[in-house]
Amino acid sequence: MPDAALEGISVVELGEGVSAAYCARLFADYGADVVKVESPGVGDVTRCWGPFPGDTPHREKSGLFHFLNTNKRGVTLDVSAAAGRELLLRLLEEADVLIENKLPNQMRELGLDYATLEPVNQNLVVVSITPFGQTGPYSDWKGYDLNAFHLSGAGHRYCGLPDRAPLEHGTFSADFYGAAAGATWGLAATMGRERVGGGQHVDVSCAEAIATTFVGAHNIGAYAQNGAYEHRTGVGMRLSAPATILPCRDGYVWMLAIEPGQWKGLVEVIGNPEWAQVEMFEDMFVRGQNADLIYPLLEEWTLRHDKLEIMERCQAAGCPATAVATVAEAAEHPHLRERGYILEVEHPELGRTLSFAPPFKLPGSPAAAPTPAPLLGQHNALVYADRLGMHDAELTRLRADGIL
């Protein structure tokens, strides 16, 4: 096997929740040596979030924690105590990257802010992922994923019906986007240390990551230019049709046929009905203006067919329709399995379970088979002995003092 792409890069992860953990996992998936630091006896908060087998809470059986922390080594350390901070600084002396998601004032109070860490290791890249960033009037405000998401304008633009209140957005979108941005530019800063003369501080705002990717120049730019911006449309697109979710015999299908070739392909698949031959319907904007007429007619056809049949027939005709998969269908999806995205991992507490590969592939240096997320403090002896040369007696004393 070729060497892992990030082999030789040493990462320390200090955080809670999703953003720091997933950022560090992206490093770990391609061979970086990631040490996850958790609080003694408690661990990362995601250990309490589940989901759990049988819906029975257990710190070593959280599905979310397992997903976020494969391929890492785990240690416990009380960084709020002076002895714990000293050990962390010793770990960071030789590390390449620190990934953290604590509020800026918390890192300053702990004596772990970048200004303090830079003299300890001038080559250290610190990736800080927070809801609102390291600067600005909101930098020290408490916030979670949805606070960052809705500060960006994304909820106003996308989630919900146009005449109703905005809806919240699920799946930790802001945290995952912030994590991906942190991994990308954290790696860039690490690989570019010779160019800039050492490490640097990568300041990631999850709200800005969402504002860029969800809202983006199309909306914010239009407002800046002429005061106009797009509004929520509920399901589907507003300007053209068909571009919406339609019910079918066994679920739903995303129907998109706005370009001329796509529309002609769809019309052929549904049997060239007379209503679809109207010349004005060749214009996608006219179809959008008449969506209330077109969608019920399409629905009469989709309700007679299964979603996979609709997808396959439409795709063959050049119309990019897609079956709307349920979570269960996605977990067993043959396309995702064939690409090696859905993996099975053996965990000492969960047993054999499903996990996911990184959402990108490097054929020249593929990701290794995943190792399970660490048990709480599983690698204390290994990491502290190997990295810091500590002996069993010292580790026993630190455990008794509540530092480990």
What is the CATH number for 189? 3.40.50.10540
Residue 232 binned pLDDT confidence (cut-offs 50, 70, 90): confident
pLDDT at 117: 97
pLDDT at 125: 98
**109 and 155 belong to one structural domain:** yes
**348 and 321 belong to one structural domain:** no
Domain containing residue 31: 10-213+338-400
- Specify the higher pLDDT residue, 404 or 170: 404
Domain-ending residue, one of 275, 309, 328: 328
Does residue 329 have a pLDDT over 80? yes
Please give the tally of structural domains in the chain: 2
CA distances to 26, 265, 270, 290, 356 from 273, in Å = 50, 13, 7, 16, 43
Q: How far is it, in rounded angstroms, from Cα 10 to Cα 72?
A: 11
**284 and 202 belong to one structural domain:** no
pLDDT at 2: 55
- Specify the higher pLDDT residue, 314 or 363: 314
> For the chain, what percent of residues have pLDDT higher than 70?
99
In-domain check, residue 231: no
Q: Is the peptide bond before 372 cis (omega within 30 degrees of 0)?
A: no
**322 and 345 belong to one structural domain:** no
Which residue in this structure is represented by tokens 């979108």? 173
Q: How far is it, in rounded angstroms, from Cα 312 to Cα 316?
A: 6
What phi-psi label fits residue 372: left (phi over 0), alpha (psi between -120 and 50 degrees) or beta?
Answer: beta
Mean pLDDT of 70-89: 96
Domain-ending residue, one of 288, 304, 328: 328
In-domain check, residue 4: no
pLDDT tens-digit profile of 192-207? 999 999 999 999 999 9
In-domain check, residue 266: yes
pLDDT tens-digit profile of 114-123? 999 999 999 9
In-domain check, residue 238: no
Mean pLDDT of 355-360: 86
pLDDT tens-digit profile of 278-298? 888 889 999 999 999 999 999
Which residue in this structure is represented by tokens 């549904």? 270
**63 and 109 belong to one structural domain:** yes
Written as six digits, the tokens of 206 are 């999850």
pLDDT at 1: 45
Residue 238 binned pLDDT confidence (cut-offs 50, 70, 90): confident
The model carries a pTM of 0.92
In-domain check, residue 218: no
Written as six digits, the tokens of 96 are 């390449």
The 3-class secondary structure across the chain, one letter per residue, is CCCCCCCCCEEEEECCCCHHHHHHHHHHHCCCEEEEEECCCCCCHHHHCCCCHHHCCCCCCCHHHHHHCCCCEEEECCCCCHHHHHHHHHHHHCCCEEEECCCHHHHHHHCCCHHHHHHHCCCCEEEEEECCCCCCCCCCCCCCHHHHHHHCCHHHHHCCCCCCCCCCCCCCHHHHHHHHHHHHHHHHHHHCHHHHCCCCEEEEEHHHHHHHHHHHHHHHHHHHHHCCCCCCCCCCCCCCCCEEEEEECCEEEEEECCCHHHHHHHHHHCCCCHHHHCHHHHCHHHHHHCHHHHHHHHHHHHCCCCHHHHHHHHHHCCCCCEECCCHHHHHCCHHHHHCCCEEEEEECCCEEEEEECCCCCCCCCCCCCCCCCCCCCCCHHHHHHHHHCCCHHHHHHHHHCCCC
- Specify the higher pLDDT residue, 22 or 238: 22
Mean pLDDT, the chain, whole residue set: 92
Mean pLDDT of 26-37: 96
pLDDT at 126: 98
**32 and 109 belong to one structural domain:** yes
**118 and 95 belong to one structural domain:** yes
CA distances to 53, 62, 165, 243 from 74, in Å = 22, 15, 43, 47
Looking up residue 254, the CATH number of its domain turns out to be 3.30.1540.10
Does residue 182 have a pLDDT over 60? yes
Q: How far is it, in rounded angstroms, from Cα 44 to Cα 58?
A: 13
